[in-house]
Structure 1
Amino acid sequence: MALKETFYISHGSPTLSIDDSLPARHFLQSFQRAVFPQKPKSILVISGHWETDVPTVNAVDGPSDTIYDFYNFPKRMYELKYPAPGAPDLAYKVKKLLQAGGFNQVHVDKNRGLDHGAWVPLMLMYPEADIPVCQLSIQTNLDATHHYRIGKALASLKEEGVLVMGSGSATHNLRSMHRGDADDGSVASWAAEFDNWLKEALLDGRYEDVNQYESKAPYAKLAHPWPDHFFPLHVAMGASGDDSKSEVIHESWTNGTLSYTSFKFTS
């Protein structure tokens, strides 16, 4: 079963795993029904929570470990499990495609499980945990174009029924978040301006502008002081193939500056 779609999911806060008041949680719970009814053969997740010097994939035999890479959150979040099967065959396929695409150094990690950028959205999207999952790392020492090229090298995976999903946040400035009583439901003007620019650029097909977002987008450094949660979008965008169309599939905000805007790319 060939697929035509890739996705960028804004997973926002780890509390998405338990907080039923978040609209983004309800969106992800409806994903199979309302957005993407096909069941993929396997899933490749590019998460903003795995940074390495060179592209690295995890090739796990058996159920993947659930990594709790967050601190001082409610106890029950550390009791959640997402024991999806690993996807070692997919991992080595990813390595082969990346090498063929000019990425000479690609590493395989046979031990790493799934970080919360992968398991939090997936436990809502595919709660049965019965689809094999592989993770691919990002390189924050490099740029957006590097990640777009990674995606381009992996575009053929869709033809094999692999769901390619970037997981991050459309805006991600944790220091500027409104917390507690300061969160009055309003959205900071700079965050909204960046988010609107991103939506317009993608819907207009201006992918090269998105690759050059640091010089093209308003408030780029405020929206992403560190690019870890943005680069997964560039991989999903590249993997969608030439002449793909973008669609906004969800929009919501928390804490004044954290956007849950998510996208579908269709070839």
Structure 2
Amino acid sequence: MGQRQAKPNPAAGHARATTPTPTPTPTRQEQRSGPETEGRRGRGAAAEAMDTFFLSHGSPTLSIDDTIPARQFFKSWLPAGGGGAEPPRAILVVSGHWETATPTVNVIRGNNDTIHDFYGFPKPMYQLKYPAPGAPDVAMKTKQLLEQNGFGPVKEDHSRGLDHGAWVPLMLMYPEANVPVCQLSLQAGRDGAYHYELGKALAPLRGDGVLILGSGSATHNLRRMGPDGTPVPRWAAEFDGWMQEALLGGRHDDVKRCEEKAPHGRVAHPSPDHLYPLHVALGAAGEAAKAELIHHSWTNATLSYASYRFTTAADS
């Protein structure tokens, strides 16, 4: 299907990506952030596997706008050890902005190009570059793992760079752009359970020092966004709260079917592309993974930046 671009209004705009056969509640405006706590999974010991993460990247203006609360969360990532005590060996990003008919990895030998896949934003945003080196070895290992688990054939793309679902958060998290990065596409015609199982197939990468990041949005209805400072509408708050409770409660089967099980699922996500990165990251952490809410804030009234860490219970 290839990459698709959404056509949002300029104030909010940013682009859009069946199981396989083989205590007091913190305020919703800003809950505690994981990188403000200790990073628990680094590369210090070979036996330790990396945690996986779902990050809500929100609007592309995250790249330049210091008034967005989540921007400080992403900027704190490296100094606070959000992904571990040391930078990962490489990063695999599953973004809501790359959809294909079958799984595809970008195999880049050299530096990644920066894709400005959004409309109607300030000119300086189109001049931003994030030339992180490619991670062809990780891309090929990703392909191998998926094909071994019945997700093949997996295609290779030797020219596609990083979409803004990858480079916008990464330029804040790893600003020196010195960690190799590759991407894996989504399949919009499949369901959450499919992407959860796809994530499970990727679990061995965690033991290789590869940080698996799902980059999407906890809520993603561009047509219902509003001015900052206005109250979060009921549909957004209830979906976001349900997802938090389901993840923290370990209800993975419910999460796989959240579009049907959660209140206002089809309103919060008219298209599932920004949900599926969550399923991949959760699946990669395993059946007994424990979820932790590491950041929570809102912009544009309806856009939740809820982000989660997934830790395999055996690693705890």
- Alpha carbons 2:103, 2:152 under 8 Å: kept: no
State the Cα distance separating 1:28 from its structure 2 match.
0.3
Specify the code of the residue in structure 2 equivalent to 1:66: T
- In the TM superposition, what are the counterparts of 1:128-147 in structure 2 within 5 Å? 128-147=176-195
Structure 2: tracts of 5 or more residues without a match: 1-42
Pair 1:229 & 2:274 matched: yes
| 1:47-62 correspondence to structure 2 within 5 Å | 47-62=95-110
Q: Which residue of 2 aligns with 1:238?
A: 283
Q: CA deviation at 1:244?
A: 1.1
In 1, Cα distance between equivalents of 2:300 and 2:50 = 34
2:74 alignment partner, SS class: helix
- Say whether 1:20 aligns with 2:66: yes
Shift of 1:38: 2.6
What TM-score do you get using the length of structure 1 for normalisation?
0.97
Kept after mapping to 1: 8 A contact 2:53/2:213: yes
Aligned residues: 264
Q: How do 1:182-197 and structure 2 match up within 5 A?
A: 183-197=228-242
Higher helix share: 1
Which stretch shifts more, 40-49 or 24-33?
A: 24-33
Conservation of the 8 A alpha-carbon contact between 1:3 and 1:163:
no
Superposition CA RMSD, Å:
0.9
Q: Does the CA contact (< 8 Å) of 2:133 and 2:177 recur in 1?
A: yes
Quote the Cα distance in structure 2 between the aligned partners of 1:121 and 1:51.
19
The TM-score normalised by the length of structure 2 is 0.82
CA distance in structure 2 between the partners assigned to 1:121 and 1:27 by the alignment? 10
For residues 12-161 of structure 1, the aligned pairs below 5 Å read 12-34=58-80, 35-36=82-83, 37-161=85-209
Query: Counterpart in 2 of 1:253?
Result: 298
Instruction: Tell me if the contact between 1:203 and 1:246 (Cα under 8 Å) persists in the aligned partners.
Output: yes
Identical positions, percent: 61
Distance (Å, rounded) in 2 between the aligned partners of 1:13 and 1:221: 20
Give the partner amino acid of 2:88.
P
Find the counterpart in structure 1 of residue 49 from structure 2: 3
Does the CA-based 8 Å contact 2:115-2:164 persist in structure 1?
yes
Once the two structures are overlaid, the 10-residue window that deviates more, 7-16 or 100-109, is: 100-109
User: Which SS does the other structure have where 1:7 is aligned?
Assistant: strand
Partner of 2:78, secondary structure, is helix
Q: Distance in 2 between matches of 1:10 and 1:93?
A: 26
Unaligned runs of 5+ residues in structure 1 are: none
Q: Which shifted more, 29-38 or 52-61?
A: 29-38
**1:200 Cα deviation from its structure 2 partner:** 0.3
How far 1:6 sits from its partner (Å)?
Answer: 0.1
Deviation at 1:185, TM superposition (A): 3.2
Cα deviation, residue 33, structure 1: 2.7
Runs of 4+ in 1 over 4 A off after TM superposition: none
